[in-house]
Chains A and B, each alone.
Chain A
Amino acid sequence: MGTMLQQRGLKTGEVPETYNIIHPEIIKEIHEEYIEAGANIITTNTFGANELKLKNTGYSVEEIIISAVNIAKEAKGEKYIALDIGPIGQMLEPIGTLSFERAYEIIKKQVIAGVKAGCDLILIETISDLYEAKAAVLAAKENSNLPVFCTMTFEENGRTFTGTDPITMVTLLEGLGVDALGVNCSLGPGELLPIVEEILKYSSIPVMVQPNAGLPKIINGETVYDISEEEFSKHVQIMAEKGACILGGCCGTNEKFIKKLVSEIKGKSPKVLENKGYTTVCSPSKTVILGNGVKVIGERINPTGKKKFKDALKNNNIDYILTEAINQMEAGADILDVNVGLPEINETEMMVRVINEIQSIINLPLQIDSSSSEVIEAAARIYNGKPIINSVNGKDQIMREVFPIAKKYGACVVGLTLDDNGIPSKAEDRFKIAEKIVNTAKEYGIKKEDILIDCLVLTASAQQEEVMETLKAVRLVKEKLGVKTLLGVSNVSFGLPNRELLNQTFLSMALVQGLDAPILNPNNKTIMDVIKSFKVLANLDKEAKEYIEANSNVEVKQDVQPINKGNLKDIIIKGIKEEASQITKELLKTNDSLTIVDNYLIPALDIVGAKFERGEIFLPQLIQSAETVKNSFAVIKEKEVLENKKGISKGKIILATVKGDIHDIGKNIVKVILENYGFEIIDLGKDVPIEKVVKIAKEEDVKLVGLSALMTTTVKSMEETIKALKENNVQCKIIVGGAVLNPEYAEMINADYYAKDAQEAVQIAKKIFNIV
């Protein structure tokens, strides 16, 4: 459509959808040309007909979409009308600032208008962000009964701009229950072939392709595409032979391309794709296939029996949870289990927040672990990708609650082999429960490859005779039901000495039985070594490549440098981060926390700060020292938590990057340095709504609020935040900073203080909290 409109005088940057109102005859003519050429489906001129892109046109979404569908209806000839929905134009969180729910609402409006106007199907296309695809498909399916097609756009490297590969797209979209999926735009049909092949390798549902007319070239300032109708249809035919069944064109193509293609494929029937049967889970940029080697599910994000973790949940200490996630990823986990259930907190809110935060920095698929179906639904909805839900069991009630959620969001589900009578002692009886779970899932339309069975590990100390029953059940489930299995390994050793040894042995035994995904602590090297060695012996790690690599420098690693005891000050000044915790631990044996802070940390920081002011060291060195102090502080805090002491706090400070702004690094620098000086920081993050700053400042009775903005455009929202704080009579001082600010500007927007850097922020904070 775009190409056709440009040929008919659409100016660069002009909103094409306005033509539905000002030049309906042109749009109708284009539709008729395509119908004449033999197209079965025509797409409405509504690619960008969303409220954001239409904002300055003077037309509403409804007006544009209804007129577009009406024009398509009026076009002569037989056809189906596809309501065309392109990308919103703004990037969703966490890459951008548009929230998932807002994106959903924007697209919902388009869908409702299209349905009202009488379109036949919904086509979501040219999407590069998987999260946007999810929002769009949900909006389409929840607000219409029409078929939904969704295609994404890929680069030559086989990924979308935001890093999604074909298998990941298939995993998400097929799970969400679209009627067809595929690729459009991107490249010419020749370049697209490998991507289409990859999609066909994994998709069990109809695949659609709409390539460009080759690659763009600029000739005399005009964009032209470089292949002919003949060449185009030759390549697209190859795709059809391989299994693509909805075909068309994108940029640079016109009705002649379609005509040629139609004439070539006339009389041929579309190839029906078989069910591929893969068990896949994904994040936006990574898909894990279960059953393809051993996949480790990290168990550490779970408060059960962990005082520090519980404390982190109660205090909204998301960084603590993120560190757990990062450590497990670095230790080799493939999937992370996420459980944040604690009676004192709002589990739904916390689960959503933790998932968003984890997904903003790491790309391992997640397993949503909760006993509440409300939490599971909220999490499955906002999760970016295809998650695992942990769990259902043989009880009818729980399956009734959870299976519809799993079906709707296309998740895998863990089924535990227990029911109202508890855990059967015999393998055969556990198998029966597994069978019931798989069969019930089927009634909800959930394929068996999306069910993972956990045959439940019992402790050898209490139920020794049943350990082997679990393993036997694993084998039965694998062989007779053909579904994937997982097990929480470390339960086996509970109550016995040298637990690691039992865990290792049990894991080896379970892997031999065909266990696909052990749930364990990946930070435990010995247990991960069992998996690495198993992979060699089971012929999974070909030529023992991974094993050799992991074990070739074992000796070097043991060469730990001797610690220079008692020299914490020097270590901070030099910024040797790695050594700070050990030395602090040593010091804590003979000193109390406050002595260490006042005699070591703060004096060292003052020296570093002075050096920075004199220009003797530069910012990275300052931060390196600050992070050294942070490590030292972490040890002190850990001790305080364990001893139930109230932590050191020299005053509570809120820090926030203001609404609309996403530049976080400056604020984070100020945060680490203020924390170093013993201030307690409530970090509200970036793009923080004005109301949130006011609310938290009031609730926490905060005396100092630090606001950061990096853009001239967002200083405006800084000003509004300050205004709101003052209007709501929050009794606090406000300090501002950021690249575009200066003392004059700060005064103009009514801030109390301006800090040019983190060091100056410390001086101001000290003054406000009367610290000498």
Chain B
Amino acid sequence: MINLEINRNEVLRYLGYKKGDIGESISQLIDECIEEIKKYSNYKYTYIVLKIKQSEDNIELLKSNLILEGSDILHHLKDSTMCAVLAVTLGSLVDTKIKFFEKTNLTKALILDACASTAIEWVCDEASHKIKEEALSDHDLGITYRYSPGYGDFSMDIQPEIINALEAQKKIGLTVTETNILIPRKSVTAIIGFQDKNIISIHPGCKTCNNAKWCQLKKGGNYCGN
């Protein structure tokens, strides 16, 4: 497994940093937190690749019981003939440590949380990269960007089915609550379409987000990366 990388500027962005002097103590604390999250993380990912069958109002993932619904995911996979279903996690120790610092040093907890969010994005990128290589080598195809439950009208209700289909608990220790929250908390599931490698797929940023109108990050000129 490659060593986890955490981009400091991304951490600052998650923390809502816009301008001004962050001060020596916070600056040091950020460096410390980056190292600690690297230490606490036990990142893992798992995915399956399935052929898909498009129809008017849903997408069926063949040889599985997964059916994706919602116009946004349909649009996302419009050029795809197959897709990868991905789940990634940083593991539960990160959660425990953040919880610990919430009791002893909230500033640190907040920064650790931002570092972990940055870290999970990095893991997603790593996994996507791997999937991209596989799409190219096995199928001579390119991939779409990642699309997760909760984006647009792609319902979070699919979360348990994704976890189940991936056997994510057994493989990477990832579960989902009755309210569709992933546990460990720093985890992501996503769908990545396989499509003609000449089509370029770029994340549309805030355009697909339901909360774009009110988002505090967006007002500061940032985007959350999700």
B74 within 8 A of A: no
Measured between beta carbons, the chain A residues less than 8 angstroms from B81 are: none
Least Cβ–Cβ distance between B101 and chain A, in angstroms: 9
Measured between beta carbons, the chain A residues less than 8 angstroms from B170 are: 126, 153, 185
Measured between beta carbons, the chain A residues less than 8 angstroms from B53 are: none
Q: From known contacts A90-B177, A163-B92, infer whether A711 and B106 are also in contact, taking CB-CB under 8 Å.
A: no
A319 within 8 A of B: yes
Measured between beta carbons, the chain B residues less than 8 angstroms from A96 are: 175, 177, 183
Measured between beta carbons, the chain A residues less than 8 angstroms from B50 are: 12, 221
Least Cβ–Cβ distance between B113 and chain A, in angstroms: 6
Cβ < 8 Å to B, chain A residues 654-704:
660-665, 668-669, 672
Measured between beta carbons, the chain A residues less than 8 angstroms from B165 are: 12-13
A618 touches B175 (CB 8 A): no
A621 within 8 A of B: yes
Which secondary structure dominates chain B's binding surface?
mixed
B25 touches A319 (CB 8 A): no
A128 touches B26 (CB 8 A): no
A711 touches B180 (CB 8 A): yes
Q: Looking at the complex, which one of A160, A163, A221, A619 makes contact with B16 (CB distance below 8 Å)?
A: A619
B199 within 8 A of A: no
A575 within 8 A of B: yes
A615 touches B181 (CB 8 A): no
Q: State the CA gap A714–B180 with chains docked (Å).
A: 9
Least Cβ–Cβ distance between A600 and chain B, in angstroms: 20
Measured between beta carbons, the chain A residues less than 8 angstroms from B216 are: 756-757
Q: Looking at the complex, which one of A91, A161, A623, A668 makes contact with B91 (CB distance below 8 Å)?
A: A161
Q: State the CA gap A657–B95 with chains docked (Å).
A: 17
A91 touches B183 (CB 8 A): yes
A316 within 8 A of B: no
Q: State the CA gap A329–B60 with chains docked (Å).
A: 53
Measured between beta carbons, the chain B residues less than 8 angstroms from A739 are: 211
| Residue from the set A96, A126, A672, A743 with the largest chain B CB neighbour count within 10 Å | A96
Cβ < 8 Å to A, chain B residues 168-226:
169-170, 172-173, 175-181, 183-185, 210-211, 213-214, 216, 220
A272 within 8 A of B: no
| Residue from the set A97, A220, A360, A665 with the largest chain B CB neighbour count within 10 Å | A665
* Chain A proximity mask over B95-118: 1 for CB below 8 Å, otherwise 0: 110111011111101110100000
Cβ < 8 Å to B, chain A residues 91-113:
91, 94-98
Cβ < 8 Å to B, chain A residues 602-634:
615-621, 623-624, 626-627
B26 touches A620 (CB 8 A): yes
Q: Looking at the complex, which one of B100, B113, B169 makes contact with A362 (CB distance below 8 Å)?
A: B100
B95 touches A95 (CB 8 A): yes
Q: Looking at the complex, which one of A87, A95, A717 makes contact with B96 (CB distance below 8 Å)?
A: A95
B70 within 8 A of A: no
Q: State the CA gap A662–B109 with chains docked (Å).
A: 15
B32 within 8 A of A: no
Which secondary structure dominates chain A's binding surface?
loop
Interface size class of A (residues with CB under 8 A): 35 or more
A742 touches B213 (CB 8 A): yes
Q: From known contacts A11-B63, A361-B99, A711-B180, infer whether A220 and B138 are also in contact, taking CB-CB under 8 Å.
A: yes
A163 touches B110 (CB 8 A): no
B110 touches A615 (CB 8 A): no
Least Cβ–Cβ distance between A666 and chain B, in angstroms: 10
A12 touches B156 (CB 8 A): no
Measured between beta carbons, the chain A residues less than 8 angstroms from B96 are: 95, 360-361
Q: State the CA gap A615–B22 with chains docked (Å).
A: 11
A620 touches B65 (CB 8 A): no
A618 touches B15 (CB 8 A): yes
Cβ < 8 Å to B, chain A residues 66-103:
87, 89-91, 94-98
A13 touches B65 (CB 8 A): yes
Measured between beta carbons, the chain A residues less than 8 angstroms from B150 are: 711-712
Measured between beta carbons, the chain A residues less than 8 angstroms from B23 are: 574-575, 621
Q: From known contacts A617-B20, A742-B214, infer whether A662 and B181 are also in contact, taking CB-CB under 8 Å.
A: yes
A326 within 8 A of B: yes
Measured between beta carbons, the chain A residues less than 8 angstroms from B48 are: 12, 221
Least Cβ–Cβ distance between B83 and chain A, in angstroms: 12
Least Cβ–Cβ distance between A452 and chain B, in angstroms: 28
Residue ID in chain B nearest A318 by CB atoms? B103
* Chain B proximity mask over A48-71: 1 for CB below 8 Å, otherwise 0: 000011000000000000000000
Q: State the CA gap A220–B50 with chains docked (Å).
A: 11
Q: From known contacts A360-B99, A620-B110, A624-B25, infer whether A12 and B18 are also in contact, taking CB-CB under 8 Å.
A: no
A162 touches B214 (CB 8 A): no
Q: A624-B26, A661-B179, A668-B109 are in contact. List 10 more A-B contacts (CB 8 A).
A: A12-B48, A14-B64, A97-B178, A128-B169, A361-B99, A624-B25, A672-B106, A711-B180, A714-B181, A742-B213
Q: List 6 A-B contacts (CB under 8 A).
A: A12-B64, A90-B175, A161-B91, A615-B220, A627-B107, A668-B106
